[in-house]
Structure formats: structure tokens, C-alpha cells
Homo-oligomer: A and B are copies of this chain.
């Protein structure tokens, strides 16, 4: 039975899945790109962005690869597709990802504003869905043709699907950083904790960067 899956969705220690003030220079908002630094060195990521670099294997790579294996279509929110809000003023925007986006399947973008599909290189087509989350899910399952659908993001979109009980699997990556502000994923979701069960808990260590986190310095003014 095809499933709706979220993979490699990164949260800061203070629970943010994105920083505040998303804009064209900061797709994840202020400081939010630090959430995804663990992905960059992996083989799956390097292959996804067709960098020509090899990338590394290991636990991080395994988790990223799971988000590609068996996935036949993608759903994302409007804000994940771009920084524009409201009516489409400028049709030249085709996403953050350049001419060959890393999806390589049919991507369904939730929006209140209709727009023609955008075929991209590498098999990705951005389709704009105005029929809400269930409509997007129907279309995505149809496009996936028996494979699973990946729910890509961002925070508000995943929350909508979680609230509706439509998510079959959610993989979270906890980044040992503090963002201080932004969009929280696991907030206001009611009794969702009762409706799911933890299937796995894995650590990767060391975190690839020396990003800041409360511990072990000497901030104490009395010293």
C-alpha cells in the first residue's frame, strides 16, 4: 500500500524546522541552513544535486537514501517552493534548485493561486495544486503509480498533513543547534503523540559542523 512519508526533516534543539524571515538569500530563514548541514557531505545528497562529487556513506547517507528509495512523487508547500507570497507576480521563478531540481518526479506544490505546470530538466515537473492537502495527496498518489509519496516540507505543510492524520512515517533529524526563533514543527498538534509510535532512534556523531550549542564553555561572569 503506497504511503505518505516525511524524511530527513531537520529540527533544531529548540524545535524549529526553519528560521524566521525566509527570503531569497535564506531559503530556510535566519540561520536555518545550518539545519541541513548534515546532509551535504553524503553520497545521496551529492548525487541528488548532480555535483559530480562522490560524497560519503554512513548513517546519514542511509537516512537520506531512504527518502529517495521507492518514492514516485513529491508534495511541498508554497513557501518551500519559493519566497513569493500571494498571487504569482513573476513566472520566472522556478524554485530554489536551478534548472535540474533534485526531485526527478512529479512535484505537487500547494497554493491558493493556480499556475501552469513547470517541466524542468531531469524529470521534475512542478504542478500547482489549489484543491488543498487531500487533493494534492490524491494527485500525488496517482502520479506515483504505486510508489510512495514524499512529503517534503515545509513546517506548515507537514503540520497540516499530520493534523489530518495523513502521514504514515516521519523521520526527524535533530540538529544540535539553537535557532532561537522560527517555525516549530511539533507544536499545537494535539494528541498526535498518541497516534504514532517510535520505530527507530539512531545517532550520528560527530555532527559535521561545530555549530553552537549550550555546553561546556565559560560564560560565567563571576570567573
| Neighbouring B residues of A200 by C-beta, 8 Å | 215-216
Do residues A216 and B169 form an inter-chain contact, with CB atoms below 8 A? yes
Q: B180 contacts A13, CB within 8 Å?
A: no
Contacting pair B176 A198 (CB below 8 A): yes
Stretch at the interface among A39-47, A86-94, A120-128, A204-212: A204-212
Chain A interface SS verdict (over half): loop
Report whether A189 and B180 are in contact in the complex, using a CB–CB cutoff of 8 Å.
Answer: yes
Instruction: Assess whether A104 is interfacial by the CB under 8 Å rule.
Output: no
Cβ of A156 under 8 Å from chain B: no
CB atoms of B187 and A222 under 8 A apart: no
Residue in B202, B211, B214 whose beta carbon sits within 8 Å of that of A172 in the complex:
B214
Q: Which of B178, B191, B192 contacts A192 (CB under 8 A)?
A: B178
**A14 is an interface residue with CB less than 8 A from chain B:** yes
CA distance A194 to B31 in the complex (A): 12
**Once the chains bind, are B168 and A196 in contact (CB under 8 Å)?**
no
A193 contacts B213, C-beta separation under 8 Å: yes
Across the interface, A206 reaches (CB within 8 A) one of B184, B194, B201, namely B201
Contact with B along A155-180 (1 / 0, CB 8 A): 00000001001111111101011111
Using CB atoms, name the residue of chain B closest to A190.
Answer: B180
Check A193/B178 contact, CB under 8 A, given A198-B212, A216-B169. yes
Partner of A215, one of B13, B171, B206, B214: B171
Instruction: Name the contact of A214 in the complex, choosing from B137, B192, B213 (C-beta under 8 A).
Output: B192
Contact of A139 with B by CB under 8 A: no
Q: For residue A48, give the distance in angstroms from its CB to the closest CB of chain B.
A: 23
State whether the Cβ of A219 lies closer than 8 Å to any Cβ in chain B. yes
Q: Which residues of B contact A203 (CB under 8 A)?
A: 201-203, 205
A-B pairs with beta carbons under 8 Å apart, 13 shown: A13-B174, A14-B187, A15-B184, A168-B217, A168-B219, A196-B213, A196-B215, A196-B217, A197-B212, A197-B213, A197-B215, A199-B215, A201-B207
- Counting from the closest, the 5 A-B pairs by CB-CB distance are A203-B203, A198-B213, A178-B193, A199-B216, A14-B186
